[in-house]
Structure 1
């Protein structure tokens, strides 16, 4: 199906070819993913574990890179203990007793790798036998703000209730320092169907530092933010079954240089999105209008590796629910059905225009561009103005330089951004 150039008839007259005076802003290169990432983790030979981690870590603990560790079952870091992991350390996660690493409220995880020596959490299966959802994931419960009426919450998924509380009043708390970390084959569904994501961040405060994290082949979400306030950058999701970046319960922050690489045949039955953003939890309610989830995303790339043979299996790139606010700037969206889908909480074009902004960006889709629940929906594609787009859907190989690279995919446009259409 071809993208209709007008998107709606009311916009037809607003479309022009960008002239030579326009700025070429295609600066979203992928240099930051080089050196520490791994796009073929199923073929990597990791050493066998030397030591099993205890299921309760109550004292400050240091993991060194001369030992390979086994994570089995639920491993809780409790009692204000600090778990520190040296650069280059490998942690193998049990698939028979699906592992989760849970940093409880008041405790801390310091996992600082480097470009040359990243820290790796991966399946304990042998090479070429690993799969999405082999183990659980990393869960960090902070004491930062969430927008529920009570000001906190309990992590779902049948975790030990005394260790599953998150949220509080400490907006500036520090629960985690993660840099140059890979999380491979997480998202197990057999043990629990919620919150076994690659990296789950609950109530993270502004002092936490999280950048250069890659989650690959997650059986659930790759990244999940529930409440909290933080600015993060350089986060990569590769071929997740569920959402790449799920954001809810009043999280506020600037997310810079996100990258999601999806495939149309790897998705969940309910539909999966590069970004799923939810304003508040309907079960818990929220305190005030300004506590709604509010995120600014810049310099980011969201690509579904679709072509003319399989694009019909894709969903929208972004799902916005329960009045969430999102601003997308200087970014690329390609290979999806639509740019954004709004639920019934967005009751009019005026409401959408206050909640969603996108500018100085590029999109290549095969649908109408915007999906809404209310009727009539005349003029809704206006929210995509001031962005460039392809007149017709373009297959991933024809659009980007080297999107299928197994070492370092490149999502630079083959043609200059200035050659594409623009709505004004």
Structure 2
């Protein structure tokens, strides 16, 4: 099958628009070294020695000299504080519906380190783990959401008394999570309900979410419902559904985020590196100023597709319900399109005020921008002007240094930026 050719343009740079290789120095991703694991199915973890209680209603400390079993849903309640020491391993029961739920008012302090990350993983043995072995981590905050009710019910079959989220405390500190790995989560509850690796409900901006790796989630890796927490140094590795999902008026900022996808790992409804909804259509929204608005700097979104399977890929980004997204200094490669807009975007004016991509490089095999309204492609592609792109689709191994390495993949560009075409 002949590969699609992205529009040819004259190669020249305007004086006011100059790419620099320094713009992508963070894409060397040195921050990933020392605490990540791209091959967790071969990791031999110690057997669990102690089982966590299903209700934690007073402050508790988990020590790294004990390996814990989490069996069934564990609720941290009554404003209790769960503190997890660096290097602690929590094995999660795959025979039961198992999740950690930090309920509204409670707090989680999980501060791992570069040499001793905290690990939540399947209780199955090495080589026997699979996506969806257990539920995930759910953190419930009291920040604002874009819903007329001001509150909501967390997704999943959780105890009703612990399921309310949202409020008006956007400065609240609900959690501090650093250097944490979450492996083989995203358990399916039924046909329409699946859990995510890490679900954040209405977290305030004083919470801390840094250096988190979620691998092999059977649903989304990260999902944010409202709130305004800022997050840095995040990795989603081979999720089945979306890598980063934002809805209900989430307004956080993110820096240094990675999504590594595989063309054969996807949900039947379509999966994206980013899915962003301005609001929930079932509940409505407060105002346009309350729509989800996310600013991301230094993103690397890669689908490990090649010329034999690239037809199985979708867009890197799905924008829905008037959501707003700003991406800078980023790399998008291996997808069919850069971004796909739903029917809530009805004109070029709509999409241009809702999405920006600046100082970035993309490598896709179909139209870079997909819209649902009638518009010439020559117009819609202007949305990505002044970004660099490959003239022909390239596989990940042709574009990046060592993306297929099982233990230590590298996703730095092989070629200098001067070898790519610039849209005008």
TM-score w.r.t. the length of structure 1 is 0.96
The 1:306/1:275 distance shift into structure 2, 3 A limit, reads: same
The Cα of 1:2 is off from its aligned counterpart by 3.1
Contact 1:157 1:193 (C-alpha < 8 Å) held by counterparts: no
The Cα of 1:159 is off from its aligned counterpart by 1.1
Contact 1:18 1:421 (C-alpha < 8 Å) held by counterparts: no
Structure 1 residue aligned with 2:76: 77
Contact 2:131 2:187 (C-alpha < 8 Å) held by counterparts: yes
Equivalent-residue separation in structure 2 for 1:141 and 1:84 (angstroms): 16
Deviates more, 1:309-318 or 1:405-414: 405-414
- Residue aligned with 2:257, SS: strand
Contact 1:4 1:368 (C-alpha < 8 Å) held by counterparts: no
Structure 2 residue aligned with 1:26: 24
- Residue aligned with 1:374, SS: coil
The Cα of 1:161 is off from its aligned counterpart by 1.0
The Cα of 1:4 is off from its aligned counterpart by 2.8
The Cα of 1:173 is off from its aligned counterpart by 0.4
Contact 1:141 1:204 (C-alpha < 8 Å) held by counterparts: yes
The 1:126/1:192 distance shift into structure 2, 3 A limit, reads: farther
1:16 to 11, 17, 20: 11
| 1:100-249 to 2 correspondences below 5 Å | 100-190=99-189, 193-194=192-193, 196-249=195-248
Equivalent-residue separation in structure 2 for 1:403 and 1:135 (angstroms): 28
The Cα of 1:22 is off from its aligned counterpart by 4.6
Structure 2 residue aligned with 1:416: 416
Contact 1:218 1:239 (C-alpha < 8 Å) held by counterparts: yes
Runs of 4+ aligned residues of structure 1 deviating over 4 Å after TM superposition are 17-22
Alignment size in residue pairs: 418
Unaligned runs of 5+ in 2: none
The Cα of 1:343 is off from its aligned counterpart by 0.1
| 1:13-412 to 2 correspondences below 5 Å | 15-17=10-12, 22-24=19-21, 25-27=23-25, 28-190=27-189, 193-194=192-193, 196-378=195-377, 379-412=379-412
The Cα of 1:128 is off from its aligned counterpart by 0.3
Equivalent-residue separation in structure 2 for 1:161 and 1:377 (angstroms): 50
Contact 1:244 1:273 (C-alpha < 8 Å) held by counterparts: yes
Equivalent-residue separation in structure 1 for 2:38 and 2:419 (angstroms): 31
The Cα of 1:5 is off from its aligned counterpart by 3.0
Provide Cα deviations, 1:125-163, integer angstroms capped at 9, x if missing partner: 011000000000000010001010011101122211110
Unaligned runs of 5+ in 1: 7-11
Structure 2 residue aligned with 1:9: none
Equivalent-residue separation in structure 2 for 1:192 and 1:363 (angstroms): 35
Equivalent-residue separation in structure 1 for 2:376 and 2:44 (angstroms): 53
Deviates more, 1:187-196 or 1:31-40: 187-196
Contact 1:78 1:103 (C-alpha < 8 Å) held by counterparts: yes
Equivalent-residue separation in structure 2 for 1:230 and 1:81 (angstroms): 21
The structure, 1 or 2, with the larger RCO (C-alpha pairs under 8 Å, 6+ apart) is 1
The Cα of 1:26 is off from its aligned counterpart by 2.8
The Cα of 1:408 is off from its aligned counterpart by 2.4
Contact 2:5 2:393 (C-alpha < 8 Å) held by counterparts: no
Equivalent-residue separation in structure 2 for 1:223 and 1:22 (angstroms): 31
Contact 1:19 1:418 (C-alpha < 8 Å) held by counterparts: no
The 1:356/1:22 distance shift into structure 2, 3 A limit, reads: closer
The Cα of 1:375 is off from its aligned counterpart by 1.1
| RMSD after superposition | 1.4
Contact 1:204 1:230 (C-alpha < 8 Å) held by counterparts: yes
Equivalent-residue separation in structure 1 for 2:309 and 2:19 (angstroms): 33
The Cα of 1:398 is off from its aligned counterpart by 0.8
TM-score w.r.t. the length of structure 2 is 0.96
Provide Cα deviations, 1:76-134, integer angstroms capped at 9, x if missing partner: 00000000000000000000013100000000010000000000000000110000000
